[in-house]
């Protein structure tokens, strides 16, 4: 489904990786591994089309993602280092707006139940600026529950999360894979998901 061939990316003058090829099929999960500065984030950003690779090709179902543009964006969900939530809005508003931008309009009930599943019961209507780092990350991760995207691209999804939340994420990933979804992610914490492959950027 997702196919990367001979990809090369650089940051400024520094070549991060080159000749990188891999495939991801429905129901598969791939962890991108490597030391700090090895280009994990750049790889994920290149997949999203933020970063133009120096060489190589990224294609989805045989079509170059650069040509698909919006059509491809409908297939992916990207969660970066930044939570993409607004301090001035409450968790509920944040989630509904984020979902709206990514193309699915939520009613209040759907949003509330997603937040509750993320362990934010009773905090749905608090401005996010009073939430802790972990809770804010949970608000961002609630997008996983309300999205139709086939491919999840997650950059360090576990930062600031406690053990309970990590287990929850594992469950969510397994559910997504069972739906024939795909996941590509980076992490520095171990994540227990059956069928996990790793891709090493050295």
Partner 1 sequence: MAINWFKYAAPTNFYGLAGKLIPWFAGFSLVLFAAGMYIGFFVAPADAQQGEFYRIIFIHVPTSILSMVLYMVMAGYAALGLIFNTRLSAMMASAIAPTGALFAFISLWTGALWGKPMWGAWWVWDARLTSELILLFLYLGFISLHASIDDPRRADRASALLAIVGSVNVPIIYFSVKWWNTLHQGSTIKFSGTSMHVAMQQAMFTMLAALWLYALAVVLARVRSIILERERHTHWAQEVAA
Partner 2 sequence: MKLLVLVIRRDLMLAMRRRADVLTTLFFFVMVVSLFPLGVGPEMDMLRKMAAGVLWVAALLSSMLSLGRLFATDYLDGTLEQMLLAPQSLSMLVLGKMIAHWMVSGLPLVLMAPVLGLQFDMSVQALGILIVGLLLGTPILSMIGAIGAALTLGLRGGGVLLSLLVLPLCIPVLIFGTGAVEAIANGQSVASHLSLLGAVLVLALVFTPWVTAQALRISME
Q: To 10 degrees, the CA torsion angle through 181, 186, 192, 198?
A: 80
Among 76, 120, 144, 169, binds partner 2 (CB under 8 A): 76
Question: Does 12 sit near partner 1 (CB under 8 A)?
Answer: yes
Question: Does 107 sit near partner 1 (CB under 8 A)?
Answer: no
| Beta-strand relationship, 76-79 and 63-64 | unpaired
124: left (phi > 0), else alpha (psi -120 to 50), else beta?
alpha
Q: Which partner, partner 2, partner 1, none, binds residue 88 by CB below 5 to 8 Å per kind?
A: partner 2
Question: Cα Rg for the chain, rounded, in angstroms?
Answer: 17
Strand 2-11's sheet: what is its strand order? 14-24, 2-11, 55-60, 63-64
Between CA 104 and CA 188, with CA 194 as vertex, the angle to 5 degrees is 80
Q: Which is nearer to partner 2, 11 or 197 (CB)?
A: 11
Q: Which stretch binds partner 2 (CB under 8 A): 19-27, 29-37, 47-55, 165-173?
A: 47-55
Question: Does 59 sit near partner 2 (CB under 8 A)?
Answer: no
Q: Nearest 5°: phi and psi at 169?
A: -65, -40
Q: Which is nearer to partner 1, 52 or 105 (CB)?
A: 52
Q: What residues from 13 to 42 belong to the interface with partner 1 (CB under 8 A)?
A: 13
Q: What residues from 46 to 75 belong to the interface with partner 1 (CB under 8 A)?
A: 52
Chain residues that interact with partner 2, rule: CB under 8 A? 48, 50-52, 70-71, 73-74, 76, 78, 80-89, 93, 97-98, 100-103, 105
């Amino acid at each position: 489904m997702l196919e990367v061939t001979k990809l090369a990316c650089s940051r400024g003058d520094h070549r991060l990786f080159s000749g990188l090829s891999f495939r991801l099929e429905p129901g598969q999960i791939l962890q991108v591994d490597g030391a700090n500065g090895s280009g994990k984030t750049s790889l994920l950003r290149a997949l999203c089309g933020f970063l133009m690779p120096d060489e190589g090709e990224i294609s989805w179902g045989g079509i170059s993602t650069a040509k698909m543009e919006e059509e491809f964006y409908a297939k992916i969900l990207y969660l970066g280092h930044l939570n993409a939530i607004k301090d001035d809005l409450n968790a509920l508003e944040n989630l509904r707006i984020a979902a709206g931008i990514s193309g699915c309009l939520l009613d209040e009930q759907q949003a509330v139940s997603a937040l509750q599943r993320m362990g934010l019961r009773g905090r749905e209507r608090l401005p996010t600026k009073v939430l802790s780092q972990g809770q804010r990350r949970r608000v961002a991760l609630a997008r996983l529950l309300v999205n139709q995207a086939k491919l999840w691209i997650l950059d360090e999804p576990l930062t600031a999360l406690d053990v309970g939340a990590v287990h929850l994420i594992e469950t969510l990933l397994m559910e997504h894979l069972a739906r024939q979804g795909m996941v590509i992610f980076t992490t520095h914490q171990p994540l227990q998901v059956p069928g996990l492959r790793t891709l090493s950027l050295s």
